[in-house]
Structure 1
Amino acid sequence: MRASRLVSILLLLQTRGRMTARELAERLEVSVRTIYRDVESLHTAGVPLYGDAGTNGGYQLLDGYRTRLTGLTSDEAESLFLAGLPGPAAELGLGAVVTAAQLKLMAALPVELRDRAGRVRERFHLDAPAWYRERDPLPFLPAVADAVWRERVLDVRYKSWKGEVTRRLEPYGLVVKAGRWYLVARSGEHVRTYRVWQILDLVVREEAFTRPDGFDLAAHWQEYLTEFQARLRQGEAVARLTPRGMDRLREMMTPGVVSAAETTARPLPDGRTEVTLPIESVEHALGEFLRLGADVEVRSPVELRERVIATLDDLTARYRDT
């Protein structure tokens, strides 16, 4: 374990340059004191590693030094064949490149690691998109990816909830979520998220922009998801579910709704369960509860209950008329 950590320190410094002891400790999930001991061990082994004190200090390898310690463990070799998603790679036009890279990696691995990595590929397949959904048309994805890579400004015509809009964007990065592509880009003073499949037209300009130093795409995306979830759940509904309704809710609803149902569940004398669930809006909740049919009774809010009653009355009238 310690030998693996020493190699990790070398590779981190080689790829990222200067890093503080605290940054190394957080990345490797050990104490700062452990990093100090590891650095001393590397010094003793003759690794040209030096550190500077102060606000801008940290550890750094001597310029020009490169480690050749690139051997893979069996777990690392296996994980490489689970790390890539063939669908998104193909959408970027890199399907053949990924296949070629995997073939080269397999050829370079020792026989015992090659066998284990091959078994992973035979036994596990990642299919990220959700059920019952066709892949989004993505005619502009390669151009967007090229603009992200080359740091070029984009002029886009975009379908938003307000209708068609035009935007000049500085594209910072692309994210795949549940099989769908999202573009994180600056427009004016704000960094926003755009659905790539809703881009109607675009022009890649030769005008370059400067990506902000230290911009962390993964951290930005996590913050965006947190804010998005908070916006989605702005109200609550009380409902009563049959045992079958509880089972169907677990199958059909999002993890957050299921968790709320299980946390607030209160058994009733008639065998049903009363739960309090987060809702985005009355309109959205109406559609969600109607999916549960007769296995749910909405108790509150009153507006939602009345909307359910009105919808059922309308359906009853329609079917009786025919």
Structure 2
Amino acid sequence: MQINRLFEMVYLLLNKKSITARELAERFEVSTRTIYRDLDILSSAGIPIYTSQGKGGGISLMDNFILNKSVFSEEEKNEILYALQSLSIAQSPESEKVLAKLNGFFDHKRSNWIEADLTPWGSGKDSQSSFSKLKEAILNRRVICFEYFNAMGESRGRTVEPLKLTFKVYAWYLQGYCRTRNAYRTFKIARMSDIVLTEEHFEEREIQGGLTMEDDETSLLSLRLNVTADSAFRVFDDFSETDIQRMDDGSFSISVKLPESNWLIGYLLSYGDSMTVMEPKHIRERLREQAEQIAARYQ
């Protein structure tokens, strides 16, 4: 936020002969003390700012000051603009403002090279609102409350100090300090519901060590799977290459560890008849029983 404010202050001073600290404070919704601190930062960076007292006085730039656009090569200008476009993935209105100004400053026509939707297929405004809430909570260090569904399908309330959003293996996660568990935890965002931003602020924390998934109380189970060749697209989507062995007949042998839960049975069944669980035996039995129950519904 401060970097955006500093840039816009220079932009305003380039286009206005003079402006008062009070006007700047009202525009950016900060105190005049913060404005004077920002001016000190700009001055120390070599921006020739001076102030004049009395009627008609204010903050100005030296008349002969020009922000040299040639400092950047054409390639560097493109990289700056493309990087700012990637920030718009997080739906940041500040980055949009800066991007618009820099496009004009560099005399560039805007080219939208990237677009990303953080929400799942078929989701609506509620999912988009969740990401906006989480972003606001992280940036403003506000405690959040939500309901969380673990791998066993159980719903429990959580109170969390959110620290970071992470994208890993086709899913978004929230990393933070869980006050309910009194420990650092990672939550899969798709399993979070009824997210509420409280008015309580928390002290800035550093993420300590490797974060633990909220479902880690569920033990990991070693499985050996066989998947037919016609499901290769799913194999490489779902599993690491180190877990996959290509067989002579084109099928795949997969050795992997997954949490033993109700989710696991549904996940394995989602492969239909293209997957055979070779081990362990008790999972084979659970799948057979589940398949029989499903078949009975269609008789």
Q: Same fold (TM over 0.5)?
A: yes
> Which residue of structure 2 lines up, in the alignment, with residue 291 of structure 1?
270
> Which residue of structure 2 lines up, in the alignment, with residue 235 of structure 1?
221
One-letter amino acid of the structure 2 residue matched with residue 223 of structure 1 = G
Q: How far is the alpha carbon of 1:282 from its aligned partner?
A: 5.3
Matched, 1:223 2:210: yes
Higher helix share: 1
| 1:1-322 superposed matches below 5 A | 65-67=44-46, 71-72=71-72, 73-86=76-89, 88-89=90-91, 94-95=92-93, 97-109=94-106, 111=107, 114-115=108-109, 118-119=110-111, 121=112, 123-134=113-124, 136-137=126-127, 148-149=138-139, 151=141, 154=143, 157-161=145-149, 163=155, 165=157, 167=159, 171=161, 173-175=163-165, 177=167, 182=174, 184-185=176-177, 187=179, 189-193=182-186, 198-199=193-194, 201=196, 203-205=198-200, 209-212=202-205, 215=206, 220=207, 223-224=210-211, 227-228=212-213, 231=216, 234-250=220-236, 253-254=237-238, 257-262=239-244, 265-267=245-247, 272-281=251-260, 283-319=262-298, 321=299
Aligned length: 225
Q: How far is the alpha carbon of 1:157 from its aligned partner?
A: 4.7
8 Å Cα contact 1:128-1:179 kept in structure 2:
no
> Is the alpha carbon distance of 1:202 and 1:246 closer, same or farther for their aligned partners in structure 2, counting shifts above 3 Å?
closer
CA deviations over 1:142-192 (Å, ceiling 9, x no partner):
67766655556x4x553234645474x6x4535264785736346385344
Structure 1 length-normalised TM: 0.53
Counterpart Cα distance in 2 of 1:84 and 1:286 = 38
Counterpart Cα distance in 1 of 2:85 and 2:97 = 16
Counterpart Cα distance in 2 of 1:135 and 1:200 = 14
8 Å Cα contact 1:240-1:296 kept in structure 2:
yes
Report the 3-state secondary structure (helix = DSSP H, G, I; strand = E; otherwise coil) of the residue aligned with 2:44. Answer: coil
Counterpart Cα distance in 2 of 1:299 and 1:158 = 39
One-letter amino acid of the structure 2 residue matched with residue 204 of structure 1 = E
Report the 3-state secondary structure (helix = DSSP H, G, I; strand = E; otherwise coil) of the residue aligned with 2:118. Answer: coil
Structure 2 length-normalised TM: 0.57
Q: How far is the alpha carbon of 1:234 from its aligned partner?
A: 1.9
8 Å Cα contact 1:282-1:304 kept in structure 2:
no
Q: How far is the alpha carbon of 1:124 from its aligned partner?
A: 2.9
One-letter amino acid of the structure 2 residue matched with residue 99 of structure 1 = E
> Which residue of structure 1 lines up, in the alignment, with residue 40 of structure 2?
none
> Is the alpha carbon distance of 1:273 and 1:191 closer, same or farther for their aligned partners in structure 2, counting shifts above 3 Å?
closer
Counterpart Cα distance in 1 of 2:133 and 2:258 = 38
Report the 3-state secondary structure (helix = DSSP H, G, I; strand = E; otherwise coil) of the residue aligned with 1:299. Answer: strand
Counterpart Cα distance in 2 of 1:282 and 1:79 = 43
8 Å Cα contact 2:146-2:157 kept in structure 1:
yes
Instruction: Give the gaps of 5 or more residues in structure 1.
Output: 1-63
